[in-house]
A and B are shown apart, each in its own frame.
Chain A
Amino acid sequence: MSPSLASEAPLVPRTYLNAPATGLRSWLLTQDHKRIGVMFLVATTASLFVGGLFALLIRIELLTPGPTIMDAMTYNRLFTLHGVVMIFLFMIPAIPSGFGNFLLPIMLGAKDVAFPKLNLLSFYLYVAGAVVALAGMLYGGADTGWTFYTPYSTTTVTKVAPILLGAFILGFSSILTGLNFIVTTHTMRAPGITWDRIPLFVWSIYATSVIQILATPVLGMTLLLVFVEHTFGWGIFDPARGGDPVLFQHFFWFYSHPAVYIMVLPGMAVISEVVCAFSHKNIFGYKAVAYSSLGIAFVGFFTWGHHLFTSGQSPWDSGIFGILSMFVGIFTAIKVFVWTATLYKGSIAFKTPFAYFVGFLFFLVFGGMTGIALATVSLDIHWQDTYFVVAHFHFIMVGGVMMAFLAALHYWFPKITGRMYPEGWGLVGAVLVILGFNFTFIPQFLLGNEGMPRRYFSYPERFWPLNVASTAGASVLAAGLLLILVYTLIALRWGPASGHNPWRSRGYEWESATPPPPENFAETPVFARGPHEYDEAAEPATVRGEPTHVS
């Protein structure tokens, strides 16, 4: 793309928002990682609200034990849609492709990612995958659940091919972004950013990227095999055609369990930054946080079998997978302790992003501990495929991602837009979302204890009161999210100017102008201190100097 020559007189500072041009075309064809990040943020936020609408419809349907507003087939399609949209269109890309794209190069002192064109391709693959999946759902949509368990998915009368194809395309978007981040982190760090000075945000995004490029191909392969069996009738998973029904579950969870960490690790990335910025403290254990991210990414590959405790796999395997799952818990516990200890002797400002940090901590502790309880094999037998599991993964995954996403949105709102959101409304929104989330899912933990299986269109009446409670909670959550949407949209247009660094954060990303110019830094910065250091007097992180080569 040729740089636009139509630049007006620079009365306003030159930022990525107004340079090189402001037209729609200049956005759609941009190779600027910041603009691509913003486009991802817009697209994933839209997906969040679409997926949330499906969630509300599901909760309304479950208000009464029998049919409420729809029939069983519509319900089955809705929970499939809800899962697919939330996982593939919101939780997996939101933080890495949105905030990660915007921030990772700036945090490394780079002008862009390593492969800007691939980065733009990644966005359009996302759009294409989303369109194919959603169009397929509207036209004879699949009723298989987002897990596509065989042989149900290969024998269902509904159309599963479009949604599989959509997820397949989305996988490539994920792989390209991951590849870009890994190469950028290895090769484009500014002078002074040694491996032990990489911001913790980047460490976690890096760990995420490793999982993305290693695990996503397995999902692609698995989806193709389901497609082949469903469309051409080859026997791969269906025993009636000579296949193995459990093989699919192994393949599927080999991707989809690490995918949980693809979702949660970026959340941890955000939180590590937020906790330092709002307590004005160095992180209590830099290496502990950085290496535990890598630890989660590594061990996460060897825990998939904990989804198969009731599938008839050997008890020996179940034991191994149970123990390995607990190691993920250890790495997570380390992070929880480190974040809490970071507050010690800090200077804590209870702003909206910090409120989301508190929410994140809460969901991570209870979501994590219930995860360990589920890995305690005998307890899982009762809970497997009940609402307890539903509540558990909503706490750890959705709670974690949503808290981190909202924390990031508020913390970097000035960085991205140059404006401030209304702090008072921000805190009200945080309280509504956190309480609403708890009111929605705590009843679901109890429903699981009571024995209600998931994906039930109708249910025995003894499950009624807790279902009503859960639906009531979901409406509070929805109100909170709508409130946030409204005031952020208003603040985008009319919010007061934020100034360069309203949080007085020492994060590297604040070393560039706010909002950043297209090239992030006028000249290559040289970093003279670590990314989360608050002890020295107000010394800038960067010094201008001759760029020296770093490997």
Chain B
Amino acid sequence: MNDLLRRMLFLPEQASDYARRVDHLHFFVIITTMLAATGVFATALFFFVKYRRRSDTDPTPHVKPRLVHEVFFVGVPLSLFLLWFAIGFPQFVELQRPPQGAMDVYVQGKKWMWKFAYPGGPSSLDALRVPVGRPVRLLITSRDVIHSFYVPALRVKQDALPGRYTQTWFTAERPGRYEIFCAEYCGLGHSAMLGELVVMPAAEFDDWVAQQRRGLALAVDAAPVPGDGVRPGSSLTEEGRRIAAEQGCLKCHTLDGTRHIGPTWADLYGKTERLQGGKTVVADEGYLTKSMMDPSADIVAGYQNVMPTFQGKLSPPEIAAIVEFIKSLGSTAVRSGPSEGPVYESIPRK
């Protein structure tokens, strides 16, 4: 019954017990709505037929309402609506009160990606990993404009506000992968601000966290200067690819030559770009660096001035790594490997 109604109403799968209970209220609301509407329309239809006009001069009686009508007209909808509310509001309050001991994950929305950080542990872009069966509290904020964190399968949504934290929570029931959307309009990449909720078996999740922590510790130990961010033991090009992915550059710049929110990086290095206002510029190291630090200075013709500055967010070695990576994407450049492929844990885009 639950599944039949869910499919009839096009509702996504229910990834938590909360989602199932919200859906039950949904079904109740739909069924009572349909019954009430059928009542009104059947009555109206009956009147249309029974009292259809037979002659233009038909006299009609003056009909006045009685108290019983008034009580009915107000009482029936009021009690129905209050009944819905009496079920729905406690569910909402429950959603506002994370249980004690829930696992915390910090969620940061920014144009146009989701960042997830685990206290004292790893962080990831666009993929939120959680263990099955354990309550998870999300502490949500935004770095720029308002976004809204939305997982349809959980029936959970919470706005991400710049300058403050909001919270919500859930307990996922089954391992699986579920879509994360941004539900609050945030500009050019709004509909591309997708993420994925990956619900893992608890043991697998714990392994993943431990593994990530080890990797993090190694990176910190090995970094020549704290905060430098460029890991030794890897080519500068490979580091550039990793940093570009982590910083979200690839949300707007493609690597395969297709047009997106920003100009593609394929064959960009050394190319002569036409700018807004008619000037041209050669995309050399200087231009590429300037474009990261002061993106609004030279806008390529046909694109919008939407890129935020990375001044203070990228260290000089990181900038160098990204420039090297862009250089490696030229068709004449010697490639050490395929230039495509997953740059972080891949998310299948449906």
Contacts and interface: CB of A to CB of B under 8 A. Distances in A.
Given A72-B188, A344-B63, A157 B304 contact: yes
**Chain B interface main SS type:** mixed
Given A143-B187, A345-B60, A376-B87, A245 B146 contact: yes
A73 interface: yes
Interface of A: 72-73, 76, 143, 145, 149-152, 155-157, 238-240, 245-246, 279-282, 284-285, 288, 309-312, 315, 318-319, 322-323, 326, 329-330, 333-334, 336-338, 340-341, 343-350, 358, 361-362, 365-366, 369-370, 372-373, 375-379, 381-382, 384-386, 446-447, 449-451, 453-462, 466, 504, 533-535, 537-538
- By Cβ-Cβ distance, the 5 closest A-B pairs, closest first, are A451-B152, A239-B163, A376-B88, A378-B91, A377-B92
Interface in B180-194: 181-192, 194
Interface stretch (B50-58, B102-110, B218-226, B239-247): B50-58
Nearest to B12: A451
B8 to A, nearest CB: 9
Contacts of A456: 190-191
B155 interface: yes
Contacts of A381: 22, 92, 95, 155-157
Given A76-B187, A152-B187, A378-B89, A329 B40 contact: no
A310 B158 contact: yes
Contacts of A145: 185
B146 A369 contact: no
Contact of B81 (A72, A330, A379): A330
Interface string B306-318: 1000000000000
A527 to B, nearest CB: 17
Given A346-B47, A373-B33, A310 B85 contact: no
15 contacts: A157-B304, A238-B162, A285-B69, A312-B166, A330-B77, A361-B41, A365-B36, A373-B33, A375-B85, A378-B25, A378-B89, A382-B152, A382-B155, A453-B148, A459-B191
Contact of A312 (B84, B158, B183): B158
A376 B73 contact: no
Contacts of B82: 323, 326
Interface string B78-99: 1001101101110111011000
Contacts of A370: 33
A346 B46 CA distance: 12
B37 A365 contact: yes
Interface string B187-211: 1111110100000000000000000
Nearest to A386: B183
Contacts of B182: 453
B58 to A, nearest CB: 4
B161 interface: yes
B12 A450 contact: yes
Contacts of B93: 315, 319
Contact of A281 (B60, B164, B304): B60
Nearest to A446: B10
B81 to A, nearest CB: 4
Name the interface size band of chain B: 35 or more
A393 B5 CA distance: 24
* Among A288, A309, A344, A348: residue with most chain B CB under 10 A: A348
A61 B108 CA distance: 30
Contacts of B155: 378, 381-382
Contacts of A373: 26, 29, 33, 84
A323 B146 CA distance: 27
B10 A447 contact: yes
Contacts of B51: 279, 343-348
Given A329-B81, A350-B48, A449-B9, A362 B350 contact: no
A535 B188 contact: no
B43 interface: yes
Contacts of B78: 326, 330
Nearest to B76: A333
B298 interface: no
Contacts of B191: 72, 453, 455-459
Interface string B137-174: 00000001110101011011111011110100000000
B162 to A, nearest CB: 5
Given A378-B22, A384-B157, A312 B164 contact: yes
